């Protein structure tokens, strides 16, 4: 038996990756220093692998995103970027004013850059896998080059196609038709073959292909195509195929692929294991069994894992144990976390236990793989460790009977607002008296260095709570004044008191822990610390009331109450596995409902409940969607059961929304703001297809990821296009997401342009 690990978090112990990138972008370090820094991270990561597991990859440390790297590898550089000139073009594609679209990687909070295919004219532009393979080879370290498979690459790409109104003549679209997929794949294969040939020439025997798209539901002819693809690729290397995040869509077809090793995720689903038990595993292939959870932070029951590995040894002649999916969804290590909650317990020899003891981040997951192998091989020390862990992994933590009683007592009425939308909207408009094309923003305003510094001093105890509160009040005063001057109709308080839209609520709720150093990459250099839901969740006291009511006291215009929804809090956190996800979502929703009621009582007329992770939480396979969306929709409805007069908004961003519009509609909000600018209007056509859409909607009129100030023409064109499919009475005007990552110098002129366009449209379409 061997061990293999992959996808280790590239961020570094002290967020070195983020610092390197951001310092380079600010011009504080040279390209040479950046490269040196990235190489040091490469050495660190491979060093960790080398110390703990038998097999490990190279080509994992992308300068921004692995999908972008793959696109560049095969020469898919859109013509607007001109000739590829190394890092400058690379970062233009990643974050320039005309950057590639960004969207979530399967059902995770990692965002990849969507490759844009302008045709089938692929060529080997940069052999990144070879470069990294040679880098380690020169140091005497043998690695397995890791590459995104051509199939997954195409499934996640968009190709330029000709369309009809309301879409522009040429627009980007997913490759849906089999004939197109086949055409692109056949054009792409020679480039991959060349990559493998060059790798083989330099001595690489085994190449690791990541192919998670094999977990989507697939037609039989797609399997034929994938079979053919691996047949050709296998002529140049020993191929190991990795799948993850779900079960493979057709086990028999999968194990029949002409490759040397097959990787299955045995954590996220039951089907893979059931299929191994039912159909066996081919004797001429290696099984890469993903038995250690790569997405959750819980320390594994090693006894259980050993039992599983021993069972798998009966089916597979050659077993490799591994993590269930890439480890980059986890922070680097639990080691620096000193302040995690401690609970009273009654287990042998222990009266109290820190949550830390029950956790395993990426480094600890490597050690788990190592321990399992050693224990199976009879290492006494490893066996003792296994027994020690067993005592602490399954003790109940943070039980609250009252919370459980409230969830059990829920009835259908709790998920239903008192009046229908048509009646609600009349009451709301009487109170709000908003103009047509009302303007607003999504919530956050620039989190400047000053804001972050003062917060850091406050957290370190150098600034008193009173001083911090005063500082936040000053920020709120400023943002209210700025919004009034710009002429926005519905204002926000700016979210200056929040580190992150999920972490902030996690810090206020019981049953959820937050970490100090548990950073995870979300995209590019942007990081967040996913909270850990370990017990029953409840709200000990109001969470947002002070800031929102203070902001409202400064203006006559409505200020939106700003909450993060239950599905997003759940999906962007790690969560306990001893109760169903649905129950956790309802617990959080009940806590949020209390906040909604408090805000209403304080006179807040509009409440926005953000659900950017609503789509992302959906299972990979459509057959599982109904079950998920049933409770996800209900969790939202539960927390948004406001008075009919209160206008409920929601917000979503950076997902593929088109195929989930029906579920979004069932959430029964009054207004939704939705990102649309990078996906170039695809969402607009989704509304065209949706018969009977009657909710108000703010289609993001500009991309907040770009520092460029949007022109009035570009803003107008998004709205004009939206008006082709939606009645203008339904349209709101807003950016596509929060403004926290932008600078004031960009935000003010951008919003001014936006408000001017709204005013011009009001005049143009005024009814006489």
Ligand X SMILES: CN1c2c(nc(N)[nH]c2=O)NC[C@@H]1CNc1ccc(C(=O)N[C@@H](CCC(=O)N[C@@H](CCC(=O)N[C@@H](CCC(=O)O)C(=O)O)C(=O)O)C(=O)O)cc1
Ligand Y SMILES: N[C@@H](CCS)C(=O)O
Residues in binding contact with Zn ion, number by CB under 5 A: 3
CB nearer to Zn ion: pick between 368 and 611 = 611
CB nearer to ligand X: pick between 19 and 759 = 19
DSSP 413: G
236 is catalytic: no
Positive or negative: CA dihedral 403, 408, 411, 415: positive
Among 737, 751, 754, 758, binds ligand Y (CB under 6 A): 737
DSSP 541: S
Show Cβ contacts of residue 437 under 8 Å, excluding neighbours closer than 6 positions.
719, 728, 731, 732, 733, 758, 761, 762
In contact, 687 and 697? CB cutoff 8 Å: yes
* Helices and strands per DSSP (H, E), number in the chain: 26, 26
Among 499, 514, 673, 679, binds ligand X (CB under 6 A): 499
Considering just the CA atoms, what is the radius of gyration of the chain in Å? 26
155 binds ligand Y (CB under 6 A): no
Strands 532-538 and 510-513 turn out to be antiparallel
| 207, containing H or E segment | strand 206-210
Among 139, 307, 526, 764, binds ligand X (CB under 6 A): 526
CB nearer to Zn ion: pick between 671 and 737 = 737
Q: Which residues are annotated as a binding site for L-homocysteine?
A: 442-444, 495, 610
106: helix, strand or coil: coil
Interaction with Zn ion in 612-631: which residues (CB under 5 A)? 612
Q: How many whole angstroms from its chain centre is CA 753?
A: 30
DSSP 327: G
What is the nearest approach in angstroms of Zn ion to the Cβ of residue 567? 14
Sheet holding 238-242, edge to edge: 2-4, 318-323, 286-292, 261-265, 238-242, 206-210, 144-148, 57-58
The tokens 């596509």 sit on which residue?
Answer: 736
What is the nearest approach in angstroms of ligand Y to the Cβ of residue 677? 14
What is the nearest approach in angstroms of ligand X to the Cβ of residue 560? 16
CB nearer to ligand Y: pick between 653 and 757 = 653
The whole-angstrom separation of Cα 102 and Cα 448 is: 24
Among 355, 737, 739, 761, binds Zn ion (CB under 5 A): 737
> Of the ranges 119-127, 569-577, 617-625, 735-743, which one interacts with ligand Y (CB under 6 A)?
735-743
What is the nearest approach in angstroms of Zn ion to the Cβ of residue 653? 3
678 binds ligand X (CB under 6 A): no
Interaction with ligand Y in 443-472: which residues (CB under 6 A)? 443-444
The tokens 């939705």 sit on which residue?
Answer: 674
Query: What's the start-to-end Cα distance of the chain, in Å?
Result: 79
Residue closest to ligand Y when measured from CB atoms: 738
Tokens for 142, please give them. Answer: 């043998």
543 binds Zn ion (CB under 5 A): no
Q: Which residues are annotated as a binding site?
A: 15-18, 104, 109, 442-444, 495, 572, 610, 616, 651, 653, 675, 737
CB nearer to ligand Y: pick between 572 and 575 = 572
In contact, 50 and 56? CB cutoff 8 Å: yes
CB nearer to ligand Y: pick between 442 and 520 = 442
In contact, 133 and 145? CB cutoff 8 Å: yes
The whole-angstrom separation of Cα 671 and Cα 651 is: 9
Binding at 443: pick from ligand Y, ligand X, Zn ion, none (beta carbon under 5-8 Å per type) = ligand Y
Among 212, 446, 612, 700, binds ligand Y (CB under 6 A): 612
Among 10, 305, 740, 742, binds ligand Y (CB under 6 A): 740
Interaction with ligand X in 454-473: which residues (CB under 6 A)? 455-456
501 binds ligand Y (CB under 6 A): yes
What is the nearest approach in angstroms of Zn ion to the Cβ of residue 494? 15
> Of the ranges 117-125, 140-148, 610-618, 758-766, which one interacts with Zn ion (CB under 5 A)?
610-618
> Of the ranges 11-19, 54-62, 138-146, 733-741, which one interacts with ligand Y (CB under 6 A)?
733-741
Strands 111-113 and 102-104 turn out to be antiparallel
Interaction with ligand X in 97-116: which residues (CB under 6 A)? 109
DSSP 340: -
135 binds ligand X (CB under 6 A): no
Task: Count CB-CB contacts under 10 A for residue 448.
Answer: 14
Please tell me which residue in 111, 236, 493, 705 is annotated as part of the active site: 705
The tokens 């108000």 sit on which residue?
Answer: 696
501 binds ligand X (CB under 6 A): yes
Sheet holding 170-174, edge to edge: 116-117, 158-162, 170-174
In contact, 532 and 468? CB cutoff 8 Å: no
Hey, what's the torsion of the CAs at 186, 191, 192, 198, to 10 degrees? 150
Interaction with ligand X in 320-349: which residues (CB under 6 A)? none
Task: Count CB-CB contacts under 10 A for residue 197.
Answer: 14
> Of the ranges 182-190, 247-255, 606-614, 678-686, which one interacts with Zn ion (CB under 5 A)?
606-614
Show Cβ contacts of residue 405 under 8 Å, excluding neighbours closer than 6 positions.
none
475 binds ligand X (CB under 6 A): no
CB nearer to Zn ion: pick between 322 and 441 = 441
CB nearer to Zn ion: pick between 117 and 570 = 570
589 binds Zn ion (CB under 5 A): no
DSSP 215: G
452 binds ligand X (CB under 6 A): yes
What is the nearest approach in angstroms of ligand Y to the Cβ of residue 559? 13
Binding at 522: pick from ligand X, ligand Y, Zn ion, none (beta carbon under 5-8 Å per type) = ligand X
What is the nearest approach in angstroms of Zn ion to the Cβ of residue 697? 15
CB nearer to ligand Y: pick between 370 and 447 = 447
The tokens 């009814």 sit on which residue?
Answer: 767
CB nearer to Zn ion: pick between 518 and 612 = 612
What are 288's strand-pairing partners? 263, 320
Residues in binding contact with ligand X, number by CB under 6 A: 22
According to DSSP H, which parts of 377-448 are helical? 380-392, 401-408, 421-432
653 binds Zn ion (CB under 5 A): yes
Q: How many whole angstroms from its chain centre is CA 339?
A: 26
565 binds ligand Y (CB under 6 A): no
502 binds ligand X (CB under 6 A): yes
Integer CA distances (angstroms), 276 to 250, 281, 282, 319, 624, in order: 12, 6, 10, 13, 21
The string over 618-644, giving b where at least 16 C-beta atoms fall within 10 Å of a residue's C-beta and e elsewhere, is bbbeeeebeebbebbbbbbbbbbbbbb
738 binds ligand Y (CB under 6 A): yes
In degrees, rounded to 5, the angle at the alpha carbon of residue 434 between the alpha carbons of residues 428 and 435 is: 140
> Of the ranges 121-129, 468-476, 524-532, 655-663, which one interacts with ligand X (CB under 6 A)?
524-532
The whole-angstrom separation of Cα 304 and Cα 625 is: 30
442 binds ligand Y (CB under 6 A): yes
| 650, containing H or E segment | strand 647-652
Q: What are phi and psi of 620, to 5 degrees?
A: -65, -40
What is the nearest approach in angstroms of ligand X to the Cβ of residue 637? 23
CB nearer to Zn ion: pick between 494 and 612 = 612
441 binds ligand X (CB under 6 A): no
Q: Which residues are annotated as a binding site for 5-methyltetrahydropteroyltri-L-glutamate?
A: 15-18, 104, 109, 572, 616
Interaction with ligand Y in 619-658: which residues (CB under 6 A)? 651, 653
Q: Which residues are annotated as a binding site for Zn(2+)?
A: 651, 653, 675, 737
Active site residue ranges: 705
Q: In the complex, which residues of this chain contact ligand Y (CB under 6 A)?
A: 442-444, 501, 562, 610, 612, 651, 653, 737-738, 740
Q: In the complex, which residues of this chain contact ligand X (CB under 6 A)?
A: 109, 447, 449, 452-453, 455-456, 499-502, 522-523, 526-528, 572, 612, 654, 737, 740-741
Q: In the complex, which residues of this chain contact Zn ion (CB under 5 A)?
A: 612, 653, 737
């Amino acid at each position: 038996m061997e061990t293999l690990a992959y996808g280790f978090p590239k961020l570094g112990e002290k967020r070195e990756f983020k610092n390197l990138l951001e310092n380079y972008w600010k011009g504080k370090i040279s390209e040479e220093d950046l490269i040196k820094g990235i190489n040091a991270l490469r050495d660190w990561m491979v060093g960790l692998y080398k110390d703990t597991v038998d097999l490990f990859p190279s080509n994992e440390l992308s300068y921004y995103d692995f999908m972008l790297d793959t696109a560049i590898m095969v020469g898919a550089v859109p013509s607007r970027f001109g000739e590829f000139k190394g890092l400058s073009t690379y970062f233009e594609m990643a974050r320039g004013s005309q950057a590639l679209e960004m969207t979530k990687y399967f059902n995770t909070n990692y965002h990849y850059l969507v490759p844009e295919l302008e045709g089938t004219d692929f060529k080997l532009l940069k052999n990144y896998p070879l470069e990294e393979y040679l880098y380690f080879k020169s140091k005497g370290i043998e690695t397995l080059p890791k590459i995104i498979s051509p199939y997954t690459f195409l499934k996640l790409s968009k190709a330029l196609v000709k369309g009809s109104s309301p879409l522009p003549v040429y627009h980007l679209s997913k490759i849906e038709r089999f004939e197109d997929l086949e055409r692109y794949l056949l054009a792409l294969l020679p480039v991959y073959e060349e990559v493998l040939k060059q790798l083989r020439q330099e001595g690489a025997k085994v190449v690791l292909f990541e192919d998670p798209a094999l977990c989507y539901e697939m037609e039989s002819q797609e399997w034929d195509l994938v079979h053919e693809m691996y047949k050709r690729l296998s002529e140049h290397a020993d191929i190991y195929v990795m799948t993850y995040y779900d079960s493979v869509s057709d086990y028999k077809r999968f194990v029949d692929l002409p490759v040397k090793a097959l990787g299955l995720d045995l954590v996220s689903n039951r089907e893979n294991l059931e299929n191994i038990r039912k159909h066996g595993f081919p004797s001429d292939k290696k099984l890469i069994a993903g038995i250690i959870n790569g997405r959750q932070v819980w320390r594994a029951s090693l006894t259980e894992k050993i039992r599983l590995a021993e069972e798998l040894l009966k089916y597979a002649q050659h077993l490799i144990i591994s993590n269930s999916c890439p480890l980059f969804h986890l922070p680097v290590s639990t080691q620096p976390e000193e302040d995690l909650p401690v609970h009273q317990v009654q287990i042998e020899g222990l009266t109290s236990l820190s949550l830390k003891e029950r956790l395993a981040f990426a480094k600890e997951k490597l050690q788990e793989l190592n321990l399992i192998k050693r224990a199976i091989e009879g290492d006494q020390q490893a066996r003792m460790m296994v027994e020690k862990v067993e005592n602490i992994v399954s003790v109940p933590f943070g039980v609250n009977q009252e919370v459980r009683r409230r969830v059990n007592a829920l009835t259908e009425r709790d998920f239903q607002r008192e009046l229908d939308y048509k009646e609600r909207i009349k009451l709301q408009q009487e109170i709000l008296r908003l103009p047509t094309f009302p303007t607003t923003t999504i919530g956050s305003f620039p989190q400047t260095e000053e804001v972050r510094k003062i917060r850091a001093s406050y957290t370190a105890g150098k600034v008193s709570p009173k001083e911090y509160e005063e500082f936040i009040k000053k920020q709120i005063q400023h943002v209210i004044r700025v919004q009034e001057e710009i002429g926005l109709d519905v204002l926000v308080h700016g979210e200056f008191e929040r580190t992150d839209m999920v972490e902030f609520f996690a810090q206020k709720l019981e049953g959820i822990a937050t970490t100090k150093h548990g950073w995870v990459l979300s995209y590019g250099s942007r990081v967040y610390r996913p909270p850990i839901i370990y017990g029953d969740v409840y709200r000990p006291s109001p969470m947002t009331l002070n800031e929102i009511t203070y902001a409202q006291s400064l203006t006559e215009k409505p200020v939106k109450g700003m909450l993060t929804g239950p599905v997003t809090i759940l999906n962007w956190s790690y969560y306990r596995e001893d109760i169903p996800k649905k129950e956790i979502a309802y617990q959080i929703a009940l806590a949020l409902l209390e906040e909604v009621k408090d805000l209403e009582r304080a006179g807040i007329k509009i409440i926005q409940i953000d659900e950017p992770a609503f789509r992302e939480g959906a299972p990979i396979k459509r057959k599982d969607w109904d079950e998920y969306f049933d409770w996800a929709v209900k969790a939202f409805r539960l927390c948004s059961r406001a008075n009919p007069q209160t206008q409920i908004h929601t917000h979503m961003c950076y997902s593929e929304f088109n195929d989930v519009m029906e579920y979004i509609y069932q959430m029964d909000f009054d207004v939704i703001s939705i990102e649309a600018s990078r996906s170039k209007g695809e969402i607009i056509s989704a509304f065209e297809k949706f018969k009977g859409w009657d909710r108000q909607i703010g289609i993001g009129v500009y991309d907040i990821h770009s520092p460029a100030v949007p022109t009035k023409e570009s803003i107008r064109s998004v709205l004009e296009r939206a008006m082709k499919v939606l009645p203008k009475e339904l349209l709101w005007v807003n950016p596509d997401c929060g403004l926290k990552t932008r600078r004031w110098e960009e935000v003010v002129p951008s919003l001014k342009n936006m408000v001017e366009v709204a005013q011009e449209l009001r005049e143009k379409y005024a009814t006489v």
